[in-house]
Amino acid sequence: MSRRPIIAGNWKMHNNRKASAELVCGIKEAIEGIDKDALPEVVVAPVFTSLDVVSQNICNCGCGRIQLAAQNCYFEEKGAFTGEVSIDMIKDFDAKFIIIGHSERRQIFGESDEMINKKAKAIIASGLTPIICCGETLEQRELGVTDSHIASQIVKALEGVAPADVANVVIAYEPIWAIGTGKTCDSAEANRVIKGIRTTLSQIAGKENADKVRILYGGSVKPETIKEQMAQSDIDGALVGGASLKVDSFVEIIKGAM
């Protein structure tokens, strides 16, 4: 089963409009000459306030080499939800993906599995693709409950999603202790957990659908780690934080996934 790799940059709460435009233009220029079919699917996720400017810069080049993602959304269509942004508003910028359930959203902003499930269903219904994050804390890892915790996060996130729709979601396995710490999860171990995620997906949606799901690794991905990560049987790409904020390191990671 060949799955097209994804390299996604999660810019988190960085970059105003000017810095966002510079970063996306830098990436665009650096990959312009590369054969489109040889590239992984390249995705950037700026802050909401930069979606417009990044979208314009991606569209202007017309090369279709970079896709836009949002870092979050709300599941209701509209209404009295001060401070929230709907999926339709994100779609307005021609975004293709929305990251949901990032550990920072779960831990800092108290997002529950139930909310993530509502977001996943609303994103799928809108025709966009959710990038659903999961991952264990260091404490859970040390207690030996990593696999059951991840399986539970996946089952809850996808409750009520039709099997055929499960095939199109993207999952990002991001051990929380590896995020922003410089401590990358051992590639073979990340692959083992990701295989477990695929088994859970098979139980939910059948093997054929599960085999289509792209599952990314995230957590201190660097230019030096990407080749080994991509060489694993079940790692289909990366969700990159810190190293996606500089053109050089992000482009090196993209090339490392080719």
Q: Would you name the residues annotated as active-site residues? A: 102, 174
Alpha helix locations (H) across 76-145? Answer: 87-91, 103-109, 113-126, 138-143
Which of 127, 180 has the CB closer to ligand PGA? 180
Which of 40, 242 has the CB closer to ligand PGA? 242
Shortest distance (Å) from residue 216 CB to ligand PGA: 9
Shortest distance (Å) from residue 61 CB to ligand PGA: 25
Which of 165, 174 has the CB closer to ligand PGA? 174
Nearest to 28 by CA among 55, 53, 65: 65
Judged by CB under 6 A, the chain residues 8 through 27 that form the site for ligand PGA are 10
- Candidate residues 150, 170, 179, 216; the one interacting with ligand PGA per rule CB under 6 A: 179
- Candidate residues 60, 77, 139, 180; the one interacting with ligand PGA per rule CB under 6 A: 180
User: Number of H helices and number of E strands within the chain?
Assistant: 12, 8
* Neighbour-count burial of 231, counting CB atoms closer than 10 A to its CB (0-12 exposed, 13-18 middle, 19+ buried): exposed
- Candidate residues 40, 175, 218, 256; the one interacting with ligand PGA per rule CB under 6 A: 218
Contact between 46 and ligand PGA (CB under 6 A)? no
Which of 24, 205 has the CB closer to ligand PGA? 24
Taking residues 228 to 257 in sequence order and writing x for each that binds ligand PGA by CB under 6 A, - otherwise, the string is -----------xxxxx--------------
| Residue with tokens 């054969």, as numbered in its chain | 35
Pairing of strands 41-45, 6-10: parallel
Q: Please name the helix (run of DSSP H) or strand (run of DSSP E) that holds residue 20, with its range, or none.
A: helix 17-31
Q: Are 100 and 139 in contact (CB under 8 A)?
A: no
| β-sheet bridge partners, residue 86 | 74
Shortest distance (Å) from residue 78 CB to ligand PGA: 29
Which part of the chain contacts ligand PGA (CB under 6 A), choosing from 105-113, 124-132, 158-166, 219-227?
Answer: 219-227
Site size for ligand PGA (CB under 6 A): 13
Q: Which residues are CB-neighbours of 254 under 8 A, at least 6 positions away? A: 7, 27, 31, 39, 40, 42
Distance CA 58, CA 149 (A): 37
Distance CA 254, CA 204 (A): 31
Which of 146, 220 has the CB closer to ligand PGA? 220
Which part of the chain contacts ligand PGA (CB under 6 A), choosing from 138-146, 194-202, 212-220, 224-232?
Answer: 212-220
In the chain the first and final C-alpha atoms are separated, in Å, by 17
Shortest distance (Å) from residue 214 CB to ligand PGA: 15
- Candidate residues 47, 131, 201, 221; the one interacting with ligand PGA per rule CB under 6 A: 221
